[in-house]
Structure 1
């Protein structure tokens, strides 16, 4: 996560477009390659520790962006980490229902939370201006 915080400035510059980022001195190709490797490593580490929990990786960045109302990665990266932890904790709490003997798998709960959020983001993408 610390390495991703070092990529904040190139990420913010690339929000404005590749040509603008290049004019600001960002090596767009190198930054994209670094981001690809970094996101692959982060995904592998999280999957190794937590298992394949569906929808968390897709939903949490959008929830963080909606809650912070910001596109600045200096704000979004920590907010995404906190929102991911909160969503994971909520799913764990829901999976162990009080008074029941069994445990519902977390992969059965994350789509219940994730699908409405993804649908909201897709249906309101022009109003939310999340995709440029």
Structure 2
């Protein structure tokens, strides 16, 4: 979101790099992609210093707060048209993946999916414990870095083309786990892909059902995602 905020709110929807320039939709996609990869790059650099996954998660949350602060400052100094454009982008829209942009989207997202599939075996081993995984020769640092790269590729491609789609990526792995009742990533990863795609299409269908209007995608996805997250939190709370 920060990359798009810089493009829309600071540069007015047009960016240049040497002899190349982008404007409109192309500039928004470039900003989202560069911004997402920049955040992942920072996390990769910090992961070499921070060994605790929990601390790395906390640092990621702090980076999110810092990005939100910068976006707020950009909103405060931007024009009304810029603010409106940024708000419209933040609502999310699958129509950004056109027949022209589909090959690029598929290439980036496909690379992230392939990298995720390569991590299935080490992730299953890591579930047995970090010490046990290390004794079997699993390089925990390398696995974590590859996870960050795969996450960056997938999140940046979706954000660049569709906007910040809320709750689908957060809730669907839990839904897949509840449906198939397994922690085996050989099952969970394909199941999450299928369940996530089905729910995303369902949300998009709900958005276009009202006559003479199209609802914002991010107004529908929390209705599906929030109950799942609350259920997971409450169930874990009862177990503890």
* TM-score normalized with structure 1 length: 0.90
Q: Which residue of 2 aligns with 1:77?
A: 189
What are the superposed Cα offsets for residues 13-53 of structure 1, whole Å, 9 maximum, x if unpaired?
11111101111110111111111122111111122232211
Instruction: Say whether residues 1:93 and 2:205 are aligned partners.
Output: yes
* Counterpart selection for 1:43 from 155, 162, 167: 155
| 4+ residue segments displaced more than 3 Å | 126-129
Instruction: Say whether residues 1:121 and 2:232 are aligned partners.
Output: yes
Question: Structure 1: which 5+ runs fail to align?
Answer: none
Does the Cα contact within 8 Å between 2:115 and 2:146 map onto a contact in 1?
no
In the comparison of the two structures, how many residue pairs are matched? 128
Distance in 2 separating the partners of 1:71 and 1:48:
31
Distance in 2 separating the partners of 1:66 and 1:22:
29
* Equivalent residue runs for 1:23-42 within 5 Å: 23-42=135-154
Q: Which residue of 1 aligns with 2:119?
A: 7
* TM-score normalized with structure 2 length: 0.51
CA RMSD of aligned residues (A): 1.7
SS in 2 for 1:80: helix
